[in-house]
Amino acid sequence: MTARVVVIGTGGFGKNHVRVLNELGSLAGVIDINQEVAKKYGSFYKVDWSTNLDSFNFNDIDGVVISTPTSTHKEIAIKLIEKGIKYLLVEKPFVATLKEATELLEFSKDENVKFFVGFIERFNQAVEISKNYLSEGKIGKPIILHALRVRSWPDRPIDLGVIKDTSIHDIDLSLYLFSSLPKTVYARSGSITHSINEDHATIILNFSEETRAVIDSNWLTPSKSRKLTITGTLGLIDADLITQEVILRNGEGAFLKRIDWKEPLLLELRRFINCIEEKTNPSPNQKDAVLALAVAEAALVSSKNNQVVSIPELLANYHIEDL
């Protein structure tokens, strides 16, 4: 069986889903409220297209990618679940708030829906190499992770601030690489460009007395950088998420890992299709999304009140003990 997948939202990022799904032989349709783009991609890739999901025929569709603005994800996901779609790839950060996430999960709890969340950096080969180095003990016990993700003002309308839109990638990576949840979060953020939402943020995640992550993100720096540095008791991992090059430094020397660059979205969509075809559980999934959103909301509260926020207390407030 070849999975048949529809993309909803074919804007700045959704058009990449459309291109890659077509390459993988799984593109079955496109939907966008903007008729010009829906028609353009539908005609170019010779698939069904529509401006409205209510008028699209989902009868032989196995999965849907939701790549519309984040504030629309929850409502679109609910409509798709009502139409019987069981595999949803929801773009990061999943939905706009933790409250929306708990409502969507409550709505879907008896529907056997599989949520795959678009934390694309997990499919970056530099992250995979770093994760392997950590589990092989190449830098000993990890102490501090630094994540840098900066660029100039995005040339697309964004309904969220930099923390939920951009830092969320590194929040998810910190939880994934350390395989744990931070106990507390402290953040400072602000808006230099006078947008409604913050455009720069520094977030500290405290995993234990000795282990922490420092996440720096902004939409102010004129050049683009995405870097991860992890310092451990025995060495250092230096990963460039753009070039996918990783340098390991420890007592045995300095080693540059060169690999053939692969598009993370291709690896992500291959995994999504595989989940559908093999009927397996997605990863990253809704649990990863809820935890990353909880940390992002803690960062926003921390920054607003200039105080440390406890993650277990925040999760308990939302009755998120059983995901």
Ligand X SMILES: NC(=O)c1ccc[n+]([C@@H]2O[C@H](COP(=O)([O-])OP(=O)(O)OC[C@H]3O[C@@H](n4cnc5c(N)ncnc54)[C@H](O)[C@@H]3O)[C@@H](O)[C@H]2O)c1
Selected from 2, 12, 243, 281, the binder of ligand X by CB under 6 A is: 12
Q: Which is nearer to ligand X, 33 or 234 (CB)?
A: 33
Selected from 22, 39, 69, 301, the binder of ligand X by CB under 6 A is: 69
> In the range 288-307, which residues lie near ligand X by CB under 6 A?
none
Contact code string over 110-129 relative to ligand X, x by CB under 6 A: --------x-x---------
Nearest Cα neighbor of 133 from 255, 221, 291 is 255
Instruction: For residue 282, give Cα distances in angstroms to 26, 185, 262, 278.
Output: 17, 27, 21, 11
Instruction: For residue 129, give Cα distances in angstroms to 20, 132, 235.
Output: 23, 5, 15
Distance CA 25, CA 102 (A): 34
User: Does position 312 bind ligand X by CB under 6 A?
Assistant: no
User: Does position 84 bind ligand X by CB under 6 A?
Assistant: no
Selected from 109, 157, 196, 258, the binder of ligand X by CB under 6 A is: 157
Could you count the other beta carbons within 10 Å of the beta carbon of residue 198? Answer: 27
Q: C-beta of 65: minimal distance to ligand X in Å?
A: 9
Q: Which is nearer to ligand X, 171 or 204 (CB)?
A: 171
Nearest Cα neighbor of 167 from 216, 133, 129, 205 is 216
User: Does position 17 bind ligand X by CB under 6 A?
Assistant: no
User: Does position 161 bind ligand X by CB under 6 A?
Assistant: no
Label residues 55-86 b or e (16+ Cβ within 10 Å = b).
Answer: ebebeebbbbbbbbebebbbebbeebbeeebb
Which position's Cβ is nearest ligand X? 11
Distance CA 267, CA 256 (A): 23
User: Does position 172 bind ligand X by CB under 6 A?
Assistant: no
Task: Give the range of 68-76, 122-130, 239-247, 282-290 binding ligand X by CB under 6 A.
Answer: 68-76
Q: Which is nearer to ligand X, 53 or 214 (CB)?
A: 53
191 contacts: CB under 8 Å, gap ≥ 6:
161, 197, 198, 199, 200
Task: Give the range of 25-33, 140-148, 194-202, 287-295 binding ligand X by CB under 6 A.
Answer: 25-33
Taking the CA atoms of residue 313, residue 319, residue 320 and residue 323 in that order, the dihedral angle to the nearest 10 degrees is 160
Cis peptide before 282 (omega within 30 of 0): no
Q: Which is nearer to ligand X, 117 or 315 (CB)?
A: 117
Task: Give the range of 69-77, 106-114, 135-143, 304-312 binding ligand X by CB under 6 A.
Answer: 69-77
Selected from 6, 29, 56, 70, the binder of ligand X by CB under 6 A is: 70
Q: Specify the DSSP class assigned to residue 212.
A: E
> Is residue 102 classed as helix, strand or coil in its secondary structure?
helix
> Is residue 127 classed as helix, strand or coil in its secondary structure?
helix
Q: Which is nearer to ligand X, 77 or 204 (CB)?
A: 77
Please answer whether residues 315 and 294 qualify as being in contact, where contact means their C-beta atoms are separated by less than 8 angstroms.
Answer: yes
Q: Which is nearer to ligand X, 168 or 213 (CB)?
A: 168
Q: C-beta of 93: minimal distance to ligand X in Å?
A: 6
Selected from 30, 37, 145, 173, the binder of ligand X by CB under 6 A is: 37
Q: C-beta of 271: minimal distance to ligand X in Å?
A: 14
List of residues contacting ligand X (CB under 6 A): 8-14, 31-34, 37, 67-70, 72, 91-92, 118, 120, 156-157, 165
